[in-house]
Amino acid sequence: MFVLDTNVSKLLKKYKLKLEFAPLHCPGLIVHGKNGKPDVIVVNSKLNDDQVENVILHEIGHAKNDGDVLGDYQTNDSARSCSEHGANVFWIHEKIKQYFALGNDLDSANWLSIANALGTTDYFQVQEEIHKYAL
């Protein structure tokens, strides 16, 4: 059973999101609430704990950034690309922040190893987030 990390729990509250699990055809999705109801992140119930956290962070990234994306996610490829990029940037940012909060130092931060551990090929974004800690 997945146990929510304190930071993830705070992010869900900050963005007024509910969390549910269900057997899905994809890792996860966000369902936007109507008539004042909260948005709901639905995560594939078959994922392991690490995958669940990554999906939740990605979907929180959608909640945070999608309001700034022009166009319809479902019908506009450019809007979908911008939306997915923003969600991935948020997820990678949070995981790099977590990496350094665990006591890892900049000298031991290997961007390729971290990217591979996260399961992303967005190497540039991982490098960008690590470099923020060098300043």
Residue 134 confidence (pLDDT)? 84
Q: From the CA atom positions of the chain, what is the Rg in Å?
A: 15
Domains in the chain, CATH or no CATH each: 6-132 (1.10.10)
Pick from 109, 14, 8: nearest CA to 58:
8
Q: Which segments of the chain have a pLDDT < 70? A: 1, 135
Residue 2 confidence (pLDDT)? 77
Strands, E assignment, 1-135: 17-22, 28-31, 39-44
Residue 4 confidence (pLDDT)? 85
Residue 73 confidence (pLDDT)? 87
Residue 72 confidence (pLDDT)? 84
3-state DSSP call for residue 43?
strand
Asked whether 94 and 7 are in contact (CB, 8 A), the reply is yes
pTM reported for the whole predicted model: 0.91
Instruction: Say which DSSP state 98 is in.
Output: H
Residue 74 confidence (pLDDT)? 85
